[in-house]
Amino acid sequence: MSQTKQIKTALISVFHKDGLDEIIKLLAQQDVKFISTGGTRAFIEGLGFSCDAVEDLTGYPSILGGRVKTLHPKIFGGILNRRDNKSDRQQVFSYGIPEIDLVIVDLYPFSETVASGASDEDIIEKIDIGGISLIRAAAKNYNDVTIVASKHQYDALHDILASAGAVTTLEQRRWFAREAFAVSSAYDTAIFNYFNGQNVGESPNAFRSTVYGEMSLRYGENPHQKGSFFGDFNAMFEQLHGKEISYNNLLDIDAAVSLIADFEQPTFAVLKHNNACGVASRDSIHTAWIDALAGDPVSAFGGVLIANRPIDKATAEEINKIFFEVIIAPAYADEALEILFTKKNRIVLVQKSAAATARRFRSALNGVLVQDADTKVETPEDLRQVTDRPVEACQIDDLLFANKIVKHSKSNAIVLAKNRQLLASGVGQTSRVDALKQAIAKAESFGFDLNGAVMASDAFFPFADCVEIADKAGITAVIQPGGSVRDQETIDYCNAHDIAMVMTGFRHFKH
């Protein structure tokens, strides 16, 4: 069996025609015969080349509103017949089936239609039948047929035609087949997820995900580990400056955009190892940066910075005084960029969209953990007063501010805040008492006065020990989800020592 195959007949039916004209011209130069339908046929003829209609070959018009066009033995027989199989050759001759050597086809835009908010009827009509069948048939018979299943493979085919003419090798056809099955698999996954509740609020009964766009990384978390990112990074960010983004950068960037999404006031945050080490909300982003950095100027070294307002020159001048890996903002003044670009490796990102994944998943054991994203952001209406002393209006702002930060901190987590500024946090501890002691020690080491500060906990207090420790440090108000069988002991301590406490009913574990 010959490893190379001459392309004599091509079936072409596509939606995306950008770049297709050059391919058509190269094929025509090699006297390749064209078969097509509708708009693609008109496109080919518009380039000045003859093209046979599928309807003329099959003897049937496009029927059922276009649902049936290419589903016919003369089409699929032309694709699936094995050139080295005697019986196949005899049947092809007997039934007058033309051999089809190249199939260029793409699929109805199903995912785009779902994303547009279209009606169920419109979405169902975008489930491609003929196209997906053509792709699978041609890919299955890659020994004899070349399949181009997406506009993303146009360049690869163009390069082959330009260098070798209308001839493909087995290795090339196998590569195109692999890419075709990737297209087919992703398409079916999108359809399955639609019916499986991914887009209608139902619980899934299986996990399937297809993510394109591999971004090579220098390594994983450590140099001896390989790492890659699959996703459309450029859809969320524009990188203006700096070195290649690393695996650890991506984890911190993910944590940063998730955190900042919960804040509406001008806010600056500094993150290190996925945890906030400095956050402040102020009337200006410049002041927010000054106070965010003050929260922990030591941990800020080599961190990831994120702001929810444009960066001006004055703010950039202050930021430029420290070493950091990444900065993220919705925009930058030209003068600010000149300052930030002075360090060649510094990664400067413009955030174009928020992280909007409805579900989060991660590998575990020999499977995958899947859950809804934690999109709950507590409001004053969620706060249930449980102590004799009510929280004051100014404390409510600080309590909700602290609660947003603790939500995005690794459990067990405690956050101390005052005047919409993170004073310190204790994160990733095996006991909540240790998390609190860590936070108090850090706050005091940076000279913060905890008198009048508030405390947020990502989960309930199993005993009254945490509020006792907080009380002795000067904490006057507490926010926590509640739900412990010993909640009353904690409430009783607060009442006895004039501490205000509210419960939200929402736990925010983050492991």
511 residues of the chain, pLDDT tens digit each? 458 999 999 999 998 888 899 999 999 999 999 998 888 999 999 999 999 888 878 777 777 777 777 778 888 888 999 988 889 888 888 888 899 999 999 998 888 888 888 888 899 988 888 889 999 999 999 999 999 999 989 999 999 999 999 999 999 999 999 999 999 998 888 888 888 765 445 566 667 777 776 788 888 999 999 988 888 888 899 999 999 999 999 999 999 999 999 999 999 999 999 999 999 999 999 999 999 999 999 999 999 999 999 999 999 999 999 999 999 999 999 999 999 999 999 999 999 987 667 778 888 898 888 888 899 999 999 999 999 999 998 899 999 999 999 999 999 999 999 999 999 999 999 999 999 999 999 999 999 999 999 999 999 999 999 999 999 999 999 999 999 999 999 999 999 999 999 999 999 999 9
Ramachandran angles phi, psi of 447, nearest 5°: 80, 20
The residue annotated as part of the active site, out of 273, 313, 437, 497, is 273
Residue of 226, 250, 220 lying closest to 236 (CA atoms): 250
pLDDT value, residue 325: 94
Q: Tokens 């003044």 label which residue?
A: 333
Say how far apart CA 387 and CA 319 lie, in whole Å: 42
Q: Do the beta carbons of residue 430 and residue 452 sit within 8 Å?
A: no
Q: What structural domains does the chain harbor?
A: 4-195 (3.40.50.1380), 236-351 (3.40.140.20), 380-503 (3.40.140.20)
Active site residue 408: no
pLDDT value, residue 200: 46
CA dihedral 83, 87, 88, 92 (to 10 degrees): 110
Q: Do the beta carbons of residue 461 and residue 467 sit within 8 Å?
A: yes
The residue annotated as part of the active site, out of 8, 126, 140, 158, is 140
Cβ neighbors of 403 (< 8 A, separation 6 or more) are 378, 415, 456, 479, 504, 508
pLDDT value, residue 205: 66
Ramachandran angles phi, psi of 117, nearest 5°: 80, 20
Active site residue 273: yes
CA atoms within 13 A on the CB side of 490: 26
Predicted TM-score (pTM) above 0.75: yes
Say how far apart CA 311 and CA 299 lie, in whole Å: 22
DSSP state of 312: -
Residue type, 283: D
Cβ neighbors of 440 (< 8 A, separation 6 or more) are 416, 424, 450, 469, 470, 473
